[in-house]
Amino acid sequence: MKDVPKTKPTMDGDIPLAAECLHWYEHDLLWWVNWMRRHRRCEPIEAHVILATREDLWQALKEDPQGLTKQERKRLRELDALLKANAAKMVKVLGDDLVRWRRRHKIPRSHWWWFLDKLAEKTSATVRSPATRKTR
């Protein structure tokens, strides 16, 4: 990864380069996953920071679609998979805040990280589905 950025991106301010956003997304997500493994709980703001950082990364890539190297894009896919794998935990922490945030800011469905509740429901239904099916 490129040099470590000195400032952290925010949804309200100027959007840093995509590589900087990726750095912070990785930092925040890995910290959160490790924290949850040890403590099994956190404040909603800690989870929200991850989603806001992912949003900043999306914005940076929108402004510069070539803003990440091939290796960085691979890392982004890995981090997104990790976020999706932890969707249920994230939803548990965020609760109704996730839905309120989506509605207030009119988040498009293409920004899947704001729809982790839907992903968690779908994953849960898929996992339950074979066990609850009746055999003939």
Question: Each residue of 24-73: pLDDT tens digit?
Answer: 999 999 999 998 888 887 788 888 999 999 999 999 999 999 999 999 99
Q: Is the pLDDT of residue 80 over 80?
A: yes
Residue 20's pLDDT is: 96
The percentage of the chain sitting over the pLDDT mark of 70, rounded to a whole number, equals: 79
Domain tally, the chain: 1
Q: For residue 91, what is the DSSP state?
A: H
| Residue 12 domain-assigned (yes or no) | no
| Residue 23 domain-assigned (yes or no) | yes
| Residue 113 domain-assigned (yes or no) | yes
CA geometry: angle at 102 spanning 26 and 31, to 5°? 20
Domain that holds residue 61: 18-132
| Residue 90 structure tokens | 């994230």
The half-sphere exposure of 120 on its side-chain side, counting CA atoms within 13 A, is 18
